[in-house]
């Protein structure tokens, strides 16, 4: 029982937080107002919001596929979609999105991609997205500095702290490229600890394998620096990912029939919220995201429709991504089974060989 609770703790936490929000809304008599507001929404803009999330997921799959193809590993769109779906699903149900990247490396390994290259692929995708978020957030934040200051009185420190956390994560990834001795010392300490805990049998052999993997990982990242055009393409895809994801709240604003606030200001507040929630160590930052939306978007959405906007935004930006992740993983697994059962496919080299 304890193992089951530990394994599904993220899912349980999300379900509990969702239930708490529903109960609170019901007790404050806002549930009726929310349903009334949802019924009045423009379905065309809702479709645009859904299309933005689908485009966001597609662009993430395209980034994985492009990077691997440029490194000599061709994967199908369905396989890249399965890797992307695994990342979206496990990021959503684990604290600080910590489970998404490892699961993507596992899925890539099952595609025949070496762990070192798979790790580099995931890190490059992560770096591109985080840099795009910080760049767009910085530019749009400065362009709308007056509005941000007025909107976030008493909460600006959250954005500053979020910037520091995101910058630290980027530096941590880049730190592994030149600092080989420091990485070796850290890895040796971890391996020795694993040996004491009886998790590692042969520390010399384990350390040698780890050094080889780190070298291949560094070589893969350095190769990207020597192909600037690839870096530009990946960063451009990352910019489009950020805009398609952040643009959901703009679609919801118009879906409520609201006007008066320019789209760039809405995007700015969404970027500030995304950055500020980066350091929340909870699955999907559940609870913090909902509260943050009500703080960051008060005055943009009217008080009578703010809770309805939050519920709708959370559905598109979080729950829909979980659903899409499950669908994409299922489609990839079905594709795998079909190729296994086809004798012609089994006799040929498959891009999903597990």
> Using CA atoms in the order 85, 13, 301, 139, what is the torsion angle rounded to 10 degrees?
-60
**In the predicted model, is pLDDT for residue 205 greater than 90?**
no
3-state class (DSSP) for residue 301: strand
For 125-165, write each residue's pLDDT tens digit: 988 999 999 999 999 999 999 988 888 888 888 888 888 88
Chain-centre distance of CA 263, in angstroms?
A: 23
State residue 352's pLDDT score: 38
Contacts of 286 (CB under 8 A, 6+ apart): 13, 14, 17, 18
pLDDT above 70 covers a percentage of the chain that reads 75
pLDDT digits (tens, 9 = 90+) for 219-233: 777 777 788 899 999
pLDDT of residue 237: 96
Distance (Å, rounded) from C-alpha 229 to C-alpha 60? 18
Stretch 188-216: mean pLDDT: 73
Statement: residue 9 has pLDDT above 90? no
Q: What are the pLDDT digits (tens) for 15-44?
A: 665 665 556 555 545 555 666 667 778 899
* Confidence tier at 350 by pLDDT (50, 70, 90): very low
């Amino acid at each position: 029982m304890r193992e089951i609770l530990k394994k599904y703790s993220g899912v349980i936490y999300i379900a509990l937080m969702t239930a708490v929000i529903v109960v609170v809304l019901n007790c404050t008599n806002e549930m009726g107002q929310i349903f009334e507001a949802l019924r009045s929404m423009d379905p065309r803009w809702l479709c645009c919001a859904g299309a933005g999330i689908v485009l966001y997921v597609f662009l993430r799959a395209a980034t994985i596929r492009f990077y691997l193809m440029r490194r000599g590993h061709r994967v199908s769109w369905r396989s890249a979609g399965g890797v992307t779906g695994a990342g979206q699903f496990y990021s959503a149900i684990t604290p600080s999105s910590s489970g998404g990247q490892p699961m993507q490396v596992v899925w890539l390994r099952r595609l025949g991609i070496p762990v070192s290259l798979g790790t580099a692929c995931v890190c490059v995708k992560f770096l591109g997205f985080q840099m795009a978020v910080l760049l767009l957030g910085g530019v749009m934040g400065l362009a709308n500095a007056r509005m941000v200051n007025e909107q976030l009185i008493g909460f600006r420190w959250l954005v500053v702290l979020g910037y520091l956390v995101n910058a630290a994560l980027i530096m941590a990834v880049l730190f592994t490229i030149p600092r080989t001795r420091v990485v070796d010392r850290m890895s040796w300490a971890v391996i020795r600890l694993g040996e004491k805990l009886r998790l590692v049998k042969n520390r010399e052999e384990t350390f040698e394998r780890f050094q080889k993997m780190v070298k291949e990982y560094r070589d893969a990242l350095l190769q990207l620096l020597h192909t600037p055009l690839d870096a530009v393409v990946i960063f451009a895809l990352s910019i489009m990912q950020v805009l398609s994801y952040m643009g959901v709240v703009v679609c919801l604003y118009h879906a409520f029939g609201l006007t008066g606030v320019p789209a760039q200001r809405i995007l700015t507040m969404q970027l500030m919220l995304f950055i500020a929630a980066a350091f929340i160590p909870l699955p999907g930052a559940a609870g913090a995201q909902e509260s943050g939306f009500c703080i960051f978007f008060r005055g943009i959405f009217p008080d009578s429709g703010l809770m309805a906007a939050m519920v709708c935004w959370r559905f598109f930006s979080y729950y829909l991504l979980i659903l899409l992740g499950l669908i994409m993983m299922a489609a990839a697994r079905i594709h795998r089974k079909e190729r296994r059962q086809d004798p012609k496919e089994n006799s040929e080299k498959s891009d999903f060989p597990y």
